[in-house]
Amino acid sequence: MTTGRPHGSGGGTGHPAEHELEDMSQEQLARLASELDDVEVVHNTRKFPVPGTRAEKRAERTVATWFILSALSGLAFIVAFIAWPHEYVSPFEPGHTLYSLYTPVIGFTFGFAVLALGIAVISYVKKFFPDEVSVQQRHDGPSDEVARKTVVAQLVQAGKDTTIGRRSMIKRSAGAAAGLFGIGLGIAAIAPLVRNPWKGGDQAALWVTPWRPVNGETVYLRTDTGVLGEIARIRPEDMAPGSMQTVFPFRESERGDKEALLHAQRASDTPVMLIRLRPGTQVVKRPGQEDFNYGDYYAFSKICTHLGCPTSLYQAQDNRILCPCHQSQFLATEYAKPIFGPATRPLPQLPITVNDEGYFVARSDFIEAVGPAFWERRP
Ligand code: FES
């Protein structure tokens, strides 16, 4: 209800002089704050008017238990985050089960720490905050000096009313829960900065992909047949004009090596779209990359340069490559440059040719970084 009075004028309560203000106790200041705000306390009952009863102690233990559970879960999260084996282990190697539990473990411990902390705070409010019904008139304009000063006292008094001051068990367990939770958050925030993605210089993971030839070994283009270990290399005659297929790198030295084959298919920077344009299609090539294609066949990274989704859709009618995530479109006939949507860079093109056996092979790795932009990207 709006009274039309300026804020802080009070329901008949005048502002005390400064020296009167200094002499007032906290309770008096809190009461004055209520009066100045036109707050009428209709009903106020403490949950435990007699301190030290068994019911009060039981309630205190319940709240503290949730805080302790939150603290233990926060501690478990920190330990798991730091010590649980998180390096990739393939399904064929010992240690895979532990590795595969890494995400569930840190997810559960973190989630339970938040849940228990929330339950602890809610149960403290429900069990110890006094039952109070107050009615306040609405005011216009900003609060005056006295109101600003007394509201602090009012908040302190409210804290006192919750009896938190004499509940050391709850204070200690809450401090432990909040502290460990905060430390866990801090570690989670800082941890990604500890690992150096540039370790390795020019051979760092951000600069090279599994398409890079090692020791002069030929890197073939192969499709995924769905059967691990079945190698389907591609010849030009395998593709009809106006078609596209996803290809991955393959080296003869990987034949029979399930882990290497799996890695070549799962690494985030390996999927490539091999596109066969229709004969006679007009093409604009990127300066310096005029010989990256083989006839009508063009190979572009499938990783969207916006945020890294797979740009899996090739529309043969107008030669557009579409990213389903945020609708970026790239023109296959113009070095996959973006023509619509949030992506700003062309999809990197893989230099390809056909070898003496008649199979598509990569002539080199990509000459630019694959995927979304990142700091320190080279042109
Ligand atoms: S990730 Fe492709 S448009 Fe955003």
Chunked mean pLDDT (size 10), the chain, 379 residues: 39 70 84 81 86 91 95 94 84 84 93 95 92 82 78 83 83 90 85 77 85 92 88 95 95 89 88 96 95 96 94 92 95 96 94 96 94 72
- pLDDT for 73 equals 95
Instruction: Please name the residue whose Cα sits nearest to atom 4 of ligand 1.
Output: 326
- Ligand 1 centre to CA of 310 (Å) is 8
350 lines ligand 1 (CB under 6 A): no
- Ligand 1 centre to CA of 372 (Å) is 9
Instruction: Please name the residue whose Cα sits nearest to atom 3 of ligand 1.
Output: 326
325 lines ligand 1 (CB under 6 A): yes
321 lines ligand 1 (CB under 6 A): no
The structural domains of the chain, with segments of one domain joined by +, span: 54-194, 220-362
Q: What are the pLDDT digits (tens) for 299-326?
A: 999 999 999 999 989 999 999 999 999 9
Q: What are the pLDDT digits (tens) for 61-104?
A: 999 999 999 999 999 999 999 899 988 777 777 888 899 999 99
Instruction: Please name the residue whose Cα sits nearest to atom 1 of ligand 1.
Output: 307
**Candidate of 306, 313, 330, 337 to mutate for ligand 1, largest count of ligand atoms within 8 Å of Cβ:** 306
- Ligand 1 centre to CA of 253 (Å) is 35
Q: Which atom of ligand 1 is nearest to the CA of 328?
A: 3
309 lines ligand 1 (CB under 6 A): yes
- pLDDT for 109 equals 95
322 lines ligand 1 (CB under 6 A): no
- pLDDT for 342 equals 94
- pLDDT for 51 equals 85
341 lines ligand 1 (CB under 6 A): yes
In SS3 terms, the chain reads as: CEEEEECCCCCCCCCCCHHHHHHCCHHHHHHHHHHHCCEEEEEEECCCCCCCCHHHHHHHHHHHHHHHHHHHHHHHHHHHHHHCCCCCCCCCCCCHHHHHCHHHHHHHHHHHHHHHHHHHHHHHHHHHCCEEEEEECEEECCCCHHHHHHHHHHHHHHHHHCCHHHCHHHHHHHHHHHHHHHHHHHHHHHHHHHCCCCCCHHHCCCCCCCCCCCCCCCCEEEECCCCCCCCEECCHHHCCCCEEEEEEEECHHHCCCHHHHHHHHHCCCCCEEEEECCCCCCCECCCCCCCCCECCEEEEECECCCCCCECCEEECCCCEEECCCCCCEEECCECCEEEECCCCCCCCECCEEECCCCCEEECCCCCCCCCCCCCCCCC
- Ligand 1 centre to CA of 370 (Å) is 14
- pLDDT for 140 equals 76
**Candidate of 326, 337, 339, 370 to mutate for ligand 1, largest count of ligand atoms within 8 Å of Cβ:** 326
- pLDDT for 13 equals 54
372 lines ligand 1 (CB under 6 A): no
Q: Which atom of ligand 1 is nearest to the CA of 372?
A: 1
Superfamily of domain 220-362: Rieske [2Fe-2S] iron-sulphur domain (2.102.10.10)
